[in-house]
Amino acid sequence: MTARWPDPDRVIIGRYIASLDLHSMKSRACYAQVLHGFQDVAERYEALDQEVLLAWLRKSAVRRAPSTLLHRTRIVDRFLERMLEMGAVHHDPVAALRDECNIKQCMPIWRALASRNPEEALAELRQPKPFGSVLGEMMAEHVAMMRRRGYKYTSQPQLLLRFDRFLQSHPGPKAEPLSAMIERWAEANVTRHRAEECEELKRVFAKIRHHHDPSIPVRRPDPRPRKEAAMQWRKPHIYSPADVRRMLDVARTYPSPRAPLRPLSAYTMLLLAYCAGLRRGELARLDLGDVDLQDGTITIRQTKFFKTRILPLPDSVVVELRAYIDGRLRAGGSQDARSGLFWHERGDGHYTPEMITWLLTDITRRAGLKPSRGKAGPRIHDLRHSMVVNRILEWYRTGINPQERLPFLGTYLGHRDINSTLVYITITQELLHLASERFRTVGAQCLSLGWEAQP
């Protein structure tokens, strides 16, 4: 090989494993076995390339199950990345294949290499180059400009990338107008939201043209496609207080013998998701230092719309939160203020948004509120909707005018304006009944006075 690795004394592998600070002897032995086996294969080849990866997979497949083998490829991935950073190798074949296929993950590359026909599997895996179409440069410059101005700008680039991939795979005639390109894209795959996406594309490209030439007037958006798509959206499920209590009971008894803290963690997550209306990402980003038990508040930092807010909590929730923190301490959780509030014993100790979604969804299924399979039924985000509706119902019952309190509720939820809060107001039969009763007692009298004043 042209690079310094592999070394005959296997010093690099030993230093690499020592730098990982693996606490388990079993883990260190597993890493050493995989990496020494990989070096045994690499030493028989002149260059570290795709042939080395294929040979190692064929040799390892004799002793290991396919699922175990694919799991061990992560060890090789990390090792090659470190060797490339150190300069011990000049080429990472996995990263090269990933760049060639224009994908970010390594696991699809390994699956393709482990298949019966690796070349065919890699060919199917290859994706078009991002922003490689005739309009790609224009779209890439616009995305970069919007992000330089401080916008997150995440959803629009995904739409532009889908349109870009279509233009690369379905090239049209030369000098084709933009309207014809969008029309072809709309006809290629008719979905219920495609008309809304086409309208969004027209709006984005009109903005791009206006940035290049301010004399071009800004296009007025057409609200009809969005309204038609909104009519087909799945309506949120409003959990009743009895539903929430059932979910909390299931969370307290959640079977988790290897992670004893998990039932209490899930219970506290549900409390904050319902009582404070927190999003799943906000739950995952909560740190231990964000909780102030003395003042009874939690701090939600830099979430949607770059907002940070301090939320007061009911006394009952503070009591449960204190019980969770005490249980977290007994379980050995880190007491660093920057450590994740929701801690578990494995990995880096943080619950990811995906882990939270899976855990709370499983609790919803066990509570009998959602089918055992599929996406049908209530979602975790519906707890946020339920918090808004049940709060308005409570205001009606206590004689408070909800219209006066909605701006405060929007601030509590972290919304940018009142329109975002109105999306969460789902009209239920009970809410409609209480609103009608309020109108009967307040508004009907005003109407009767106006009628009596007539000559």
Label residue 17 by pLDDT band (50, 70, 90): very high
Residue 349: per-residue pLDDT: 77
Average pLDDT of the segment spanning 157-162: 93
Active site residue 207: no
Question: What does the chain come to in residues?
Answer: 455
Range among 49-58, 148-157, 214-223, 439-448 with highest mean pLDDT value: 49-58
Marked catalytic residue, from 279, 366, 370, 379: 279
CATH number assigned to the domain comprising residue 264: 1.10.443.10
Quick one: 273 and 173 in the same domain? Answer: no
* Domain contains 196: yes
Q: How many CB atoms lie within 10 A of CB 306?
A: 10
The residue out of 356, 379, 402 marking a domain boundary is 379
Q: Helix, strand, or coil here: 356?
A: helix
The residue out of 125, 155, 177 marking a domain boundary is 125
The residue out of 335, 356, 379 marking a domain boundary is 379
* Domain contains 2: no
Quick one: 150 and 99 in the same domain? Answer: no
Marked catalytic residue, from 59, 209, 304, 365: 304
In which residue are the tokens 């890699």 written? 122
Quick one: 158 and 272 in the same domain? Answer: no
Q: Which two tokens stand for residue 101?
A: 């296929």
What is Dmax (Cα atoms) for the chain?
108
Q: Helix, strand, or coil here: 181?
A: helix
Give the range of the structural domain holding residue 422, as residue numbers without chain letter.
Answer: 385-452
Domain count, the chain: 4
Q: Which two tokens stand for residue 188?
A: 């290629």
Q: What are the tens digits of pLDDT across the range 259-289?
A: 899 999 999 999 999 999 999 999 999 999 9
Active site residue 279: yes
* Domain contains 324: yes
8 A C-beta contact, residue 203 and residue 221: yes
8 A C-beta contact, residue 183 and residue 197: no
Q: Which helix (DSSP H) or strand (DSSP E) does residue 299 occupy?
A: strand 297-300
Quick one: 280 and 317 in the same domain? Answer: yes
8 A C-beta contact, residue 334 and residue 349: yes
pTM given for the model: 0.58
Quick one: 248 and 374 in the same domain? Answer: yes
Quick one: 28 and 110 in the same domain? Answer: yes
Q: What are the tens digits of pLDDT across the range 285-313?
A: 999 999 999 999 999 987 776 778 999 99
